[in-house]
Structure 1
C-alpha cells in the first residue's frame, strides 16, 4: 500500500517537476475523499539551501534518512551536472528499490536512476529532448522516447513536465484505485488518466482550437455504453472516416479503438470500486457488452480480473462462500 512518499531534490531541480510530486502526494485531500500521504522532501544534506532551475533556492529540511521507510521515492528533473549524482543518493535509491519500494522519476530524473543501475534491462523513458543521451549513457536500458511514462517492475519513468502528472496519477490509481486517482485529478483540474503509451508530441501541426476534438472526447466519455466505432465517431465529428482516424491519432497519440477501450476500463474500475453491480452489469454500463470481453481487457490492461480488482479496491467487502469465492469469481476462474 502506498502510504509514505519521499521526494529526493537534487541541485538545480526543475520547479515544475518538483512541484508535480508535491502536488500529487504532498497535499491532504481527505476533505474531498482523496488520499493523504506521509510526505517529505529530502536532499543529500538536511537543511541545505539548494538552487533550482527557476532562479530561486529552496531549503530541504530532511536528509536521505527520509528514504529509509518510504513506499515511494520520487526523483524529479535536475541539472545533471558533469560530476553526476552524489554517491549517497545513488545508494539510497538502490536500497529503497532492493527492499521493494516504488521508484519514480520525472523527466531528467531518469538519469539518476540510470546512474544507480536501476534502468539496466528495463524499458524506460524521459523527455524526448534527453532520450538519445539517456540511451547513449545507459545502453543496457531500452529507452522509448515516444511515450508519456513506462512502468517496468517497480520502476516508473515519466517524460517531461505534464507527463510527470500522468506518471504520478498512474501510480496512485495502481496502488489506491481509480477513485483515489480521480479525486486527486479533480482537485488538480487535470484528466484523471492518460495512457502511458500516448505520444509525447506530434510532428505535424495540430488543427486550430476551433477544430479540436476535445468536444468529441467529452461526448465519447458520456456515451461509453454505446457503439463508438469509427463510422459513428466520424459522423459525430462531421468528418470522413479516413480524415477522422488520422486527426484522432494526431491529437491523442492512439487509435480511436484504443482510446475507447482504455476509457471503458477506467469506467469499469470506478464502477467496481463504488458499486456492488455484478460484472455483467458493469460490462454493459461501460460499453464492453459482456463480462468475458471486460475480463479480456482487464487482463490485458491491468493484469488482473474485475473481481480481483474489486476485492482489492472496493470500499465494502465482497461476500464469498466457504472457499472464499463468490459465484461470479468462480465463473471468472472457470472461463
Structure 2
C-alpha cells in the first residue's frame, strides 16, 4: 500500500485539503488492485482552512505521519512568505533523504523551496506568485507557465482545481496513463450533452486530422505580436480547449509554453547570428520589454542575453566554448 502524506499548514485552501482523498479514493474504488492510504498531517499551528468560509479542522497525524510516506503533498496556505512552521523543514528533508517523492501544490512550493531541496531545479507555483517565487529563491528555475513541473523526485503545480493536476500526475506515474485518465473522467463527468460538447468534439476531430503545422508556422512568423491562446485557436479554426489538447499531444507543451519557447529560440538565433540590439530583439520576439526578455532568457539559459551573445562570439573566434559558456 502506498502512503500519501498530505501536509497542511494553517490557512490551507479547503479544496486542496480534500482533493487528494477524492482522487486516490476514486482510483482505488474503480481499480480494485490499487491501494492507497491518504494521511492528513498537520503542520504545527494548523487551526483552520483559509477564507472564504474558513472551517476549524483537526487531523489524525502531525509531522510523524511523514515518517514512512511514499509521497508527501505539501499544500498551499496563508502566509506562504513566512518561514515554514517549526519542524517542517527537517521533516521534508528527512523524507527526501529516505527517497520519498515530494509534491507541492500552489503556494506550497514556497514551503518546499524554503528547505533548499528545489535549489538548482525547475519548479512552478500559483501563476500570480511565480515572479515572487523567482525573487525569493533565485536558485530555482521558475517555470512561469507550467501547470505541473516534475524535476527528479519533486513535483510542483500551479494548484489547478485544488491540486487535482498533481494528484493525477502521481497516479499516472504509479499506475500508468490509463488509470489516471479513467480516474479523471470519473471525477469530472459531464451531466449532459450540449451543443457546445458536440461542437468541441467536431473541432477536436478537425484539428487532429489537419494538424497544427500551419498554425505553428503562422505563430512563429508573428512572434512580435501580443498573441493569445484565443488568437491561436482562431487561426486554427478550433476551440481553445481543443487547441490546448492538440498542443499537448503534438508538442508536449501548452500553447503559451510553446509560444514562450519559440520566442526564446528566436531570441537566441538573433543573438548568435545578427548584431540586432537586445532592445530590438525584445520587440521582435514579442517580450514587450528588454527586462521581460532578460528574465525569461536567464531562466532558460542561466545567463543574460548580452553575455550569451558575447560567449558565442568568443567561441566563433577560437576561444574556449566550454569556458565562455
Superposition pairs of residues 27-66 of structure 1, within 5 angstroms: 27=25, 29-33=27-31, 35-45=34-44, 50-53=47-50, 54-66=53-65
Larger radius of gyration: 2
Cα offset for 1:112?
0.5
Partner of residue 124, structure 1: 123
Alignment size in residue pairs: 231
- Indicate if the aligned counterparts of 2:6 and 2:39 stay in contact, CA closer than 8 A: yes
Partner of residue 135, structure 1: 134
Q: Is 1:93 equivalent to 2:79 in the alignment?
A: no
Cα offset for 1:182?
2.4
State TM-score, norm by structure 1: 0.60
Q: Is 1:259 equivalent to 2:249 in the alignment?
A: yes
Cα offset for 1:161?
2.9
Partner of residue 102, structure 1: 101
- Indicate if the aligned counterparts of 2:5 and 2:69 stay in contact, CA closer than 8 A: yes
State TM-score, norm by structure 2: 0.61
Partner of residue 286, structure 1: none
| Higher share of residues assigned helix | 2
Cα offset for 1:211?
10
Give secondary structure in 2 for the equivalent of 1:7. strand
Give secondary structure in 1 for the equivalent of 2:156. strand
Cα offset for 1:257?
5.7
Superposition pairs of residues 1-335 of structure 1, within 5 angstroms: 3-25=2-24, 27=25, 29-33=27-31, 35-45=34-44, 50-53=47-50, 54-80=53-79, 83-162=82-161, 164-189=163-188, 214-216=200-202, 219=205, 227-230=209-212, 244-246=234-236, 250-251=240-241, 254=244, 256=246, 258-260=248-250
Q: Distance in 2 between matches of 1:111 and 1:231?
A: 38
What runs of 5+ residues in structure 2 fail to find an aligned partner? Answer: 216-231, 254-325
Considering only aligned residues, what root-mean-square deviation do their CA atoms show, in Å? 3.5
Q: Distance in 2 between matches of 1:250 and 1:103?
A: 32
Q: Distance in 2 between matches of 1:134 and 1:15?
A: 23
Q: Distance in 2 between matches of 1:52 and 1:163?
A: 13
- Indicate if the aligned counterparts of 2:80 and 2:108 stay in contact, CA closer than 8 A: no
Cα distance change on mapping 1:177 and 1:140 into 2, 3 Å: same
Cα distance change on mapping 1:262 and 1:144 into 2, 3 Å: closer
Give secondary structure in 2 for the equivalent of 1:40. strand
- Indicate if the aligned counterparts of 2:134 and 2:142 stay in contact, CA closer than 8 A: yes
Q: Distance in 2 between matches of 1:162 and 1:28?
A: 16
- Indicate if the aligned counterparts of 1:125 and 1:158 stay in contact, CA closer than 8 A: yes
- Indicate if the aligned counterparts of 1:229 and 1:257 stay in contact, CA closer than 8 A: no
Cα offset for 1:260?
4.7
Q: Distance in 1 between matches of 2:182 and 2:133?
A: 34
Q: Distance in 1 between matches of 2:247 and 2:76?
A: 34
- Indicate if the aligned counterparts of 1:49 and 1:57 stay in contact, CA closer than 8 A: no
What runs of 5+ residues in structure 1 fail to find an aligned partner? Answer: 192-208, 234-241, 264-335
- Indicate if the aligned counterparts of 1:44 and 1:86 stay in contact, CA closer than 8 A: yes
Cα distance change on mapping 1:217 and 1:70 into 2, 3 Å: farther
Residues 154-206 of structure 1: CA distance to partner in whole angstroms, max 9, x if unpaired? 10000033272122211211121123212321321269xxxxxxxxxxxxxxx
